[in-house]
Amino acid sequence: MPLPPNTEKDLAGIVGSERVLTAPEDLIPYGFDGTAAIRTRPGMVVLPSSSKEVAACVSWARRHRVPVTTRGSGTGLSGGSVPPSEGLVLCLVLMNQIVEVDPRNLTVRAQCGAITQQIDAAAGEHGLFYPPDPGSMKISTIGGNVAENSGGLRGLKYGVTRDYVMGLEVVLPDGRLVRLGSACVKDVAGYSMKDVFVGSEGSLGIITEVLLKLLPRPAAQRTLLAHYDRIEAAAETVSAIIAAKIIPCTFEFLDGMTIRCVQDYASIGLSIDCAALLLMETDGHPAAVDSVSLTVRSPMKTS
């Protein structure tokens, strides 16, 4: 269904004409996500720079019954940012400010378009870190991470995005701007509405700002790599390490075909003659990292 005749003029009145995209060559990149398997052509792309502009755009879309799709960097793998044909895309990459890092309360407040790695870097300046690390963290936006409840390599030890969201600012489908959650750790009264929005993929509202929990940055890290002649031996090693009550920071399993694909693409020096490999990273106090590394060397021997 085509957009109403005055769409460009109306939305330009909200965000400015330079932030309304209508040319075919400008619209093409907004018609697919990280899968590149689903492709459409949006009718228009709008780039708001504030929560108030997002709310005004949503209110306009509601009045005119125009479907809205929210987009960050478009790195998702679920089609969540792929718009319906001729629909309206609200791209939030201009809302990219890290509002505040609060080292006294171990929190960070950021706009939805802030890059995940930049949030972790800002926390690092205070000896803190933001654990969830989706594979696209160098370019993914935190709003998209929250909307998709992204996990990542550190999920085994540190959990997923939901475990770190303390509060949200959200634009509801009727254009109202609300705040959910708080900076209080023991905030247990009533319904946890922020959790309803985490992982909702934009179906309930548009996340415009997030309040995230931070942790002290580990003092030491160590990475171990082991190759195996049998896939079963690699799987048994994983079970042995977990049974020893060791929870690595990251724990990655690659079979032979995946190893060869990675090596062909990236040429990073992986052995292509093995049936499987395990990549493990442990972090924490230096003494604890040393102890864990010594303990796991035995079960991680090449079989």
Percent residues over pLDDT 90 in the chain: 78
What residue type is assigned to position 212 of the chain? Answer: L
Q: Does any domain span residue 303?
A: no
| pTM across the whole model | 0.89
Question: Which residue, among 154, 136, 158, has the nearest Cα to 252 in the 3D structure?
Answer: 154
Q: Rounded to an integer, what distance in angstroms lies between the CA atom of residue 16 and that of residue 10? A: 10
Query: Is the domain of 103 the same as that of 212?
Result: yes
Confidence (pLDDT) at 289: 93
Q: Give the CA distances from residue 248 to residues 161, 244, 254, 303, in Å, rounded to whole numbers and listed in that order.
A: 18, 11, 16, 21
Total Cβ atoms within 10 A of residue 223: 13
Can you give the CATH number for the domain in which 201 is found?
3.30.465.10
Can you give the CATH number for the domain in which 268 is found?
3.30.70.3450
Q: Rounded to an integer, what distance in angstroms lies between the CA atom of residue 273 and that of residue 223? A: 21
Query: Is the domain of 199 the same as that of 250?
Result: no
Which of 33, 67, 91 is the endpoint of a domain? 91
Query: Is the domain of 50 the same as that of 116?
Result: no
* DSSP H or E run through 61: helix 51-63
- Is residue 4 a contact partner of residue 87, using CB atoms and an 8 Å limit? no
**What is the DSSP annotation of 72-133?**
SS---SSSTTPPPTT-EEEE-TT---EEEEETTTTEEEEETTSBHHHHHHHHHTTTEE----
Which of 75, 91, 107 is the endpoint of a domain? 91
% helix / strand / coil in the chain, to the nearest 5?
30, 25, 45
Number of domains in the chain: 3
Query: Is the domain of 208 the same as that of 258?
Result: no
Query: Is the domain of 77 the same as that of 108?
Result: no
Confidence (pLDDT) at 303: 42
- Is residue 146 a contact partner of residue 167, using CB atoms and an 8 Å limit? no
Domain holding 270, by residue range, is: 220-297
Query: Is the domain of 108 the same as that of 204?
Result: yes
Can you give the CATH number for the domain in which 11 is found?
3.30.43.10
Query: Is the domain of 17 the same as that of 75?
Result: yes
Q: Give the CA distances from residue 265 to residues 70, 258, 260, 290, 301, in Å, rounded to whole numbers and listed in that order.
A: 32, 11, 8, 33, 27
Kindly give the confidence (pLDDT) of every residue in the chain, 303 residues in length, as a single tens digit, with 9 standing for 90 and above. 789 999 999 999 999 999 999 999 999 999 999 887 888 999 999 999 999 999 999 999 999 999 999 999 999 888 889 999 889 999 999 999 999 999 999 999 999 999 999 999 999 999 999 999 888 889 999 999 999 999 888 888 999 999 999 999 999 999 999 999 998 888 778 889 999 999 999 899 999 999 999 999 999 999 999 999 999 999 999 999 999 899 999 989 999 999 999 999 999 898 899 999 999 999 999 999 999 988 887 666 544
Q: Does any domain span residue 142?
A: yes
Which of 197, 216, 235 is the endpoint of a domain? 216
Q: Give the CA distances from residue 119 to residues 70, 76, 125, 153, 197, in Å, rounded to whole numbers and listed in that order.
A: 21, 19, 10, 17, 20
Q: Rounded to an integer, what distance in angstroms lies between the CA atom of residue 73 and that of residue 250? A: 25
Query: Is the domain of 56 the same as that of 116?
Result: no
Confidence (pLDDT) at 171: 98
Question: Which residue, among 123, 14, 180, 145, has the nearest Cα to 73 in the 3D structure?
Answer: 145
Indicate if the alpha-carbon torsion angle 243, 244, 250, 253 is positive or negative.
negative
Centroid of chain to Cα 301: 34
Query: Is the domain of 14 the same as that of 124?
Result: no
Q: Does any domain span residue 202?
A: yes
Q: Rounded to an integer, what distance in angstroms lies between the CA atom of residue 237 and that of residue 303? A: 10
Query: Is the domain of 65 the same as that of 43?
Result: yes
